[in-house]
A = this chain, B = another copy of it.
């Protein structure tokens, strides 16, 4: 008997999440996985060197199982009466999302999410053989508040700002969902540091709200895997029961505490990314005339037009392929009608965005554009 046939039936047929390409060679303009174009705070490298010491002796010991100092640092950063009891730390925010699915969702308790949104949610639900409740957007990308409220999902995952569109939902809309929806509302705020508003102030009045954050984007620490949840202490306690006891290693804990402590540095990083984003977005809309959603994130979702002025999946694919062949990586989501005509472009440095525009110019002059 083949050993694979021993796997659970739903596992034997499931498909893994497809992460964006992570090329290993040099020479790429990498605008495909929404990493920060600037390095982390210098305090991060210092903190890692301090934890490693001369000979790495501290690494022989297990990390703090609760990431206790990091929980305190997160609570202090957000203020508003939050304490360590409101914080759970994950090995990336994907770890937190996984814990939420495992603790709240199953074949009889659906996980809800919008389409499009972060494409990991359905994968996490499939791994648990769970049921999904998918609420589609229309092209306006306006939040379907009533449909979420009446969805009957045990937990609803809302990405805000949304991926891959970059569209942020207002606290007034999120509060409206919380008033009427009866389940757990998970607001996945991976990109909230780049937005004008975040949902943290809603936590004190809404015990069924969970906010998920990552240090992979605004904190330039995708390589270290740190994310967290902010929620009612009862929810945090549930996540801790399901969580691996040593899920975050020593260096990631030390680095994350140092990063969260350097508020002025990251205010500068976020300001630079926002300025580049807003400039590039205006350029796409005003100079090229491409339909582009307003972005509150560190990426832009735009509908390319070919040389003849047309748009559509074939045009987007042509632009993607042209860029890829010239070592410019962006992201293309062909599998859904609302995304297949678009490209998602991470905000890089001004220089990277210039390379991108030049390459798009060349594409529009190419015979097949």
Q: Counting chain B CB atoms within 10 Å of each CB, which of A16, A59, A249 scores highest?
A: A59
> Is A183 an interface residue, CB under 8 A from the partner?
yes
Pair A251/B224 contact, Cβ less than 8 Å:
yes
Pair B4/A247 contact, Cβ less than 8 Å:
no
In the bound complex, residues from chain B placing their C-beta under 8 Å from that of A237 are 4
Pair B30/A56 contact, Cβ less than 8 Å:
no
Q: Out of B22, B94, B251, which one reaches A64, CB within 8 Å?
A: B22
In the bound complex, residues from chain B placing their C-beta under 8 Å from that of A60 are 35-40, 220-223
> Is A91 an interface residue, CB under 8 A from the partner?
yes
In the bound complex, residues from chain B placing their C-beta under 8 Å from that of A11 are 102-104, 238, 241-242
> Is A147 an interface residue, CB under 8 A from the partner?
no
**Taking the nearest CB of chain B, how far is it from the CB of A209, in angstroms?**
9
List the number of copies, as a whole number.
2
**Taking the nearest CB of chain B, how far is it from the CB of A212, in angstroms?**
14
With the chains together, A245 CA to B221 CA distance in Å?
A: 16
**Taking the nearest CB of chain B, how far is it from the CB of A274, in angstroms?**
17
> Is A8 an interface residue, CB under 8 A from the partner?
yes
By beta carbon, the residue of chain B nearest A8 is B106
Pair B241/A15 contact, Cβ less than 8 Å:
yes
> Is A252 an interface residue, CB under 8 A from the partner?
yes
| Proximity string of chain A (47-60) to chain B, C-beta cutoff 8 Å, 1 when within and 0 when not | 01100111111111
With the chains together, A109 CA to B7 CA distance in Å?
A: 10
> Is A172 an interface residue, CB under 8 A from the partner?
no
**Taking the nearest CB of chain B, how far is it from the CB of A83, in angstroms?**
17
| Proximity string of chain A (31-45) to chain B, C-beta cutoff 8 Å, 1 when within and 0 when not | 001011111101011
> Is A344 an interface residue, CB under 8 A from the partner?
no
Pair A184/B3 contact, Cβ less than 8 Å:
yes
> Is A364 an interface residue, CB under 8 A from the partner?
no
Pair A61/B35 contact, Cβ less than 8 Å:
yes
With the chains together, A59 CA to B49 CA distance in Å?
A: 14
With the chains together, A320 CA to B35 CA distance in Å?
A: 49
Pair B223/A3 contact, Cβ less than 8 Å:
no
Pair B245/A19 contact, Cβ less than 8 Å:
yes
Q: Out of B16, B64, B244, which one reaches A98, CB within 8 Å?
A: B244
With the chains together, A1 CA to B61 CA distance in Å?
A: 42
> Is A154 an interface residue, CB under 8 A from the partner?
yes
Pair B245/A225 contact, Cβ less than 8 Å:
no
| Proximity string of chain A (251-289) to chain B, C-beta cutoff 8 Å, 1 when within and 0 when not | 110010000000000000000000000000000000000
In the bound complex, residues from chain B placing their C-beta under 8 Å from that of A19 are 62, 65, 245-246
> Is A24 an interface residue, CB under 8 A from the partner?
yes
In the bound complex, residues from chain B placing their C-beta under 8 Å from that of A154 are 6
In the bound complex, residues from chain B placing their C-beta under 8 Å from that of A37 are 60
With the chains together, A237 CA to B225 CA distance in Å?
A: 23
**Taking the nearest CB of chain B, how far is it from the CB of A45, in angstroms?**
4
Pair A12/B250 contact, Cβ less than 8 Å:
no
**Taking the nearest CB of chain B, how far is it from the CB of A173, in angstroms?**
21
> Is A14 an interface residue, CB under 8 A from the partner?
yes
Pair B104/A127 contact, Cβ less than 8 Å:
no
> Is A216 an interface residue, CB under 8 A from the partner?
yes
- Shortest Cβ-Cβ A-B pairs, 10 listed: A223-B250, A45-B56, A60-B220, A39-B57, A4-B234, A59-B223, A19-B245, A225-B249, A16-B241, A62-B222
Can you report 7 residue pairs joining A to B where beta carbons are below 8 Å apart? A3-B208, A16-B241, A35-B62, A37-B60, A60-B221, A92-B244, A224-B251
Using A91-B91, A224-B250 as known contacts, list a sample of 7 further A-B pairs with CB atoms less than 8 Å apart, ordered by residue number in A. Answer: A6-B208, A19-B65, A40-B59, A48-B251, A59-B221, A59-B255, A223-B250
